[in-house]
Amino acid sequence: MQVKIHTAKNATWLNAAGDAVPLKFVPKTDKRKEELAGKLHIMALKTEASLAALHVNMKAAFKEVEQLVKAEYEIKNGKKRLSGEKGNITWFNFDRSLKIEANVNDIVKWDSALMTESLTLLNNYISSSMSDANLLIAGLVKSAFSNTKGMIDTAKVYQILKHEEQIKDKRFQKACELIKQASSIDRTKLYMRIWEKQDDGEYRNINLNFSSI
């Protein structure tokens, strides 16, 4: 739908139903709201374009710094660094008044059928004994399989897997195997942040919302 902002130059204004309304019948408050909405819309589009351009430039800077770090590593250690290694990179400007963070994280996709089967086994194991250790596992399972958004909490699932070596119960072991089978890397996500140093020496994160880009 094309956005149409009316002005006093328009003899008639079209409402949401497409009806033509003579300018003299348009309430004063609606005229002011139209003006403000138009200004905000233009500002929002410019900001969106600027944010997208910043995101592109930050990704390019990240790749360049990644190569610089790789080359520096190889010079210092006399051996090649494996390409494709993922991790966090933090770098500063010369006087360390700016800090740049770039984190590459895997976005995990979970097979719902396997995770449901795993949850059944975990609940069977938990209900068999209410020891202190099991209460800890019960808390992890509850938060891992039903977070605030009704989705799998990947970080909590991985915490469950950390207990695989200690808990030898067959149900728990089978549940862990199913969890590992259920996970696959859907995509990777690059998170980037810019911090500026304050007078007290602490760094303030510049609020940039790249979530929709």
pLDDT in tens, the chain (213 residues): 688 999 999 999 999 999 999 999 999 999 999 999 999 999 999 999 999 999 899 889 988 888 888 788 777 777 665 444 455 788 899 989 999 998 876 678 899 899 999 999 999 999 887 777 778 888 889 888 875 555 788 888 999 999 998 899 999 999 999 999 998 877 667 778 899 999 999 999 988 877 655
Query: What was the pLDDT predicted at 150?
Result: 56
Residue 39 sits in the same domain as residue 98: no
Residue 54 sits in the same domain as residue 118: no
* Structural domains of the chain, count: 2
Instruction: Provide φ and ψ at 139, rounded to 5°.
Output: -65, -40
Domain carrying residue 99: 86-213
Question: pTM, whole model, 2 decimals?
Answer: 0.56
Residue 19 sits in the same domain as residue 113: no
Residue 90 sits in the same domain as residue 147: yes
Spatial separation of the C-alpha atoms in residues 55 and 21, rounded to whole Å: 43
Residue 94 sits in the same domain as residue 73: no
Q: What is the CA radius of gyration of the chain?
A: 27
Residue 147 sits in the same domain as residue 63: no
Sign of CA dihedral 64, 66, 67, 73: positive
**Boundary residue ending a domain (21, 49, 81):** 81
Give the SS3 label for residue 127: helix
**Boundary residue ending a domain (52, 81, 110):** 81
Residue 160 sits in the same domain as residue 200: yes
Spatial separation of the C-alpha atoms in residues 153 and 87, rounded to whole Å: 21
Residue 210 sits in the same domain as residue 148: yes
